[in-house]
Amino acid sequence: MKPAITKIVILLLTLALLGGLAGCGKKTRPVPPDTVLPAPISDLSYNLDEKGVELTWSYPRQTVQGDRLPYRIEKFQLLRAVIPIKDYCADCPVPFGPPIEITAESGDKGRVSYQETLLRPNHRYVYRVRSKAGWFVSSDDSNTVSVVWDTPLLAPANFKIEETDKTLTLRWQPPAGLLDGTPVSDPIRYQVSRSTDGETFHEMPGDLIEGVTYTDRGLRNGKTYVYKVRAMRLHSGTLAAGMASHPLSAVPRDLTPPAPPQKVRVVATAEGVKIIWETVAEPDLAGFRIYRRSAQSSTPELIGEVGGAGLSFLDTKPPRGRGLWYYSVSAFDQARPANVSTYSIEATYSEE
């Protein structure tokens, strides 16, 4: 190609390039409008245990403007900063490292879970998360979660549960020290978690417990509840999670017996001795038990039982011969095992 022609070609290419730049304007990544940007995740939360930290958050379902997302979330970016406790500054910018890519599951659109173990003792971990749908559709950062990891405490010792009416009382003793055998002088708090299926545990609401007892009220009698207790070490103004106790199950149960029946009397009939009494005003009354005692014995003998609202019993095999016999009645409720009242005042029977 001749030099003159070469110069003309270069000039034309230069003009074309300049024309393209003028037509496209600013050469940056296109910014999607708010109508398609996913709303920032606002429920990033964590759970600490002796293994590390588990982060959870919900799938975004709406755009920034509150409309339904028109696409599927493809991945999440987890931002993480690891800061030695001695270098931490609450008002300083957070030194996040490169984002950790987490692929979104195609089936489950509930909550996302991410676990991190092998954490460094005496370090603070700060997390944020954002969602992405393609290379340029990305949400703003979520709320911030900040946790401190330290050598964990051992689990609380001698964990026990006392069962009473609609109430369970948990008792334990402080842990012996840290997992590495180091004794602890820092203040210790406790966190109680409860499950109704033995698998999924939820932390009980309220502040952490300073003592070594916890009472859970308003429960359903006869239902099984499972508990774990975790020690939390208050070290250098921050809480570090310890090991949890082994799960322990208990069943609240009614321990209050009904009142004894009143006005017990006996009537001789052709079929035997009929014992009659008045009902007992108890909402969970299940029935009555009938006893007979000879004058020579101090212990009544159980001779029968009636359920529900029955208010009489026929002793078809009463004792024969002269002498006094004594009948009494007790009430029992629907608890398992049943609570039984004391004996009623005895009614006297004598065969003439």
What is the widest separation between alpha-carbon atoms in the chain? Answer: 149
Over residues 97-124, the mean pLDDT reads 84
Instruction: Say which range, 259-263, 276-280, 348-352, has the weakest mean pLDDT.
Output: 348-352
Phi and psi dihedrals of 7, rounded to 5? -60, -40
> Which residues are registered as beta bridge partners of 294?
325
The three-class DSSP label of residue 267 is strand
Phi and psi dihedrals of 188, rounded to 5? -120, 135
Task: Report the CATH superfamily, name and number, of domain 265-350.
Answer: Immunoglobulins (2.60.40.10)
Over residues 99-121, the mean pLDDT reads 83
**Third-level CATH fold of 157-250:** Immunoglobulin-like (2.60.40)
Contact 153, 172 (CB under 8 A): no
Contact 60, 69 (CB under 8 A): yes
Between the alpha carbon of residue 8 and those of residues 1, 3, 5, 297, 335, the distances in Å are 11, 9, 5, 131, 102
The three-class DSSP label of residue 211 is coil
Phi and psi dihedrals of 249, rounded to 5? -100, 155
Over residues 121-131, the mean pLDDT reads 93
User: Is the torsion defined by CA of 332, 333, 335, 340 positive or negative?
Assistant: negative
Q: Do domains 45-149 and 157-250 have the same CATH topology?
A: yes
pLDDT in tens, 232-273: 888 766 777 788 999 999 999 888 899 999 999 999 999 999
Residue 9's Cβ-count burial label (10 Å; 0-12, 13-18, 19+) is exposed
pLDDT reported for residue 111 = 85
Which of 5-9, 52-56, 180-184, 238-242 has the largest mean confidence? 52-56
Q: What DSSP state is assigned to residue 317?
A: S
* Domain definitions of the chain by residue range: 45-149, 157-250, 265-350
User: Is the torsion defined by CA of 85, 86, 92, 97 positive or negative?
Assistant: negative
Angle at 209 between CA 203 and CA 215, to 5 degrees: 75
The residue behind tokens 């003159």 is 4
pLDDT reported for residue 108 = 53
Over residues 335-349, the mean pLDDT reads 93
Q: Is a pLDDT exceeding 70 seen at residue 330?
A: yes
Contact 277, 329 (CB under 8 A): yes
**Third-level CATH fold of 45-149:** Immunoglobulin-like (2.60.40)
Order of strands, sheet of 167-173, starting from the edge strand that comes earlier in the sequence:
157-164, 167-173, 213-217
Q: How many alpha carbons fall within 13 Å on the CB side of residue 269?
A: 14
Question: What is the C-alpha radius of gyration for the chain, rounded to an integer number of angstroms?
Answer: 37
pTM given for the model = 0.57
